[in-house]
A = this chain, B = another copy of it.
Amino acid sequence: MPRSKSGLNEFDLIRRFFVPLTKNAPGAFALSDDAAILSVEPGRNLVVTTDMMVSGVHFLPDTAPEDIAAKLLRVNLSDLASMGAVPESYTLSIALPKSDSSANEAWLKRFATGLSDEQNIWDISLVGGDTVSTPGALTLNVTAFGSVPVGGELRRSGAVSGDSIFVSGTLGDAALGLNALKGDISGLAREALDYLVSRHRRPSPRGALGRRLAGLATSTIDVSDGLAADLEHICEASGVSATVDVSKIPLSPIARSLLDQDGNHLNAILAGGDDYELLFTASSRNEEALAKLSVELDLPITKIGHIQGPKKDEKVRILDINGQTVNLASGGYRHF
């Protein structure tokens, strides 16, 4: 690896754009071997996750290459965060459209710059990859690696009746940002639009929080499919049900203002997805510890509901301020 057949001089572009991204990973052998070596410290396990992104499905085709690089890595880092893992490295596969090789080269240059910036932010390194050509859409796959103490990983399956439900940060901004990009929200001030779009394009994986939740959280997931759908995943894995109080859901001032203007935005907030906040359950006796952690990490942690015993239907109930069940327009996020 990496093998490469995309019409460009692949070995050359790998040398120029991707080998420099491996400089902090001796086990990548500067991409000059068939595979990479990952060492795992004694007492730790490796955590692995993979995500594929397709142009026109997971990002708009005119998205800046740097933003695609950021989202691709951050989506994977969010999965590692929700397992409580320390991120370490990743492999990258790219299927480049056959079209114009100089356009591909310009795109790759910006994409690799974006990856480099992200590597510096998150302290991770490329360790391997593959570059191929495609007659279809630009397609990217990252497999990301982290580590956790043996037995210390966070799971979806430990929620028990009586637990409280918490979420980090604010929900809905990313989905509202996407809706704004698609022209479905008008009249936004420039700063408001920029904020929402940035939350859509560059989610913040909550790794620092995830790594501190061992011993505190009983179940954890990252909000990628939307609050309602991801809470349902926790309920399924744990064999419980959940009730969420809509009025408790943490919103940014901009999301709050949009919701005040038009109640239909609630759907984006509850089911929009792509928030990449951590949603977790914990015993209420850990509330004080979580409040301290929130201050320490400078990250809001908000209690939004509670866990009950298993129910046959309606695993997740979302109640409005009148105690009435909110019906979602769709059960979860469907990408555009």
Contact = CB atoms under 8 A, between A and B. Distances in A.
Interface of A: 1, 3, 5, 27, 29, 32-40, 42, 45-54, 56-58, 79-80, 82-83, 85, 91-95, 127-130, 132-137, 139, 141, 143, 145-146, 148, 150, 153, 155-157, 221-222, 224-225, 233, 236-237, 334-335
B91 A155 contact: no
Given A32-B237, A134-B137, A136-B139, A48 B56 contact: no
A49 B139 contact: no
Given A42-B42, A51-B93, A141-B52, A134 B57 contact: yes
Contact of A36 (B47, B53, B54, B236): B47
A51 B3 contact: yes
A50 B130 contact: yes
A68 to B, nearest CB: 15
Contacts of A39: 45-46, 150
A128 B3 contact: no
B50 A134 contact: no
A38 B50 CA distance: 14
Given A54-B95, A128-B49, A130-B52, A34 B79 contact: yes
Contact of A136 (B5, B34, B136): B136
A132 B52 contact: yes
Contacts of A139: 52, 54, 95, 134, 136, 139
Given A135-B56, A139-B139, A335-B5, A46 B46 contact: yes
A133 B3 contact: no
A37 B148 CA distance: 9
Nearest to A40: B40
Contacts of A95: 52, 54, 139
Given A34-B83, A34-B221, A38-B45, 18 more contacts: A29-B155, A29-B157, A34-B49, A34-B80, A34-B156, A35-B83, A38-B48, A48-B91, A50-B91, A50-B129, A50-B143, A51-B130, A52-B94, A52-B139, A57-B135, A134-B136, A135-B137, A136-B136
A140 to B, nearest CB: 9
A39 B45 CA distance: 5
A37 B46 contact: yes
Contact of A156 (B32, B37, B54, B57): B32
Contacts of A3: 51, 224-225
Contacts of A40: 40, 45-46
Nearest to A4: B225
Nearest to A273: B3
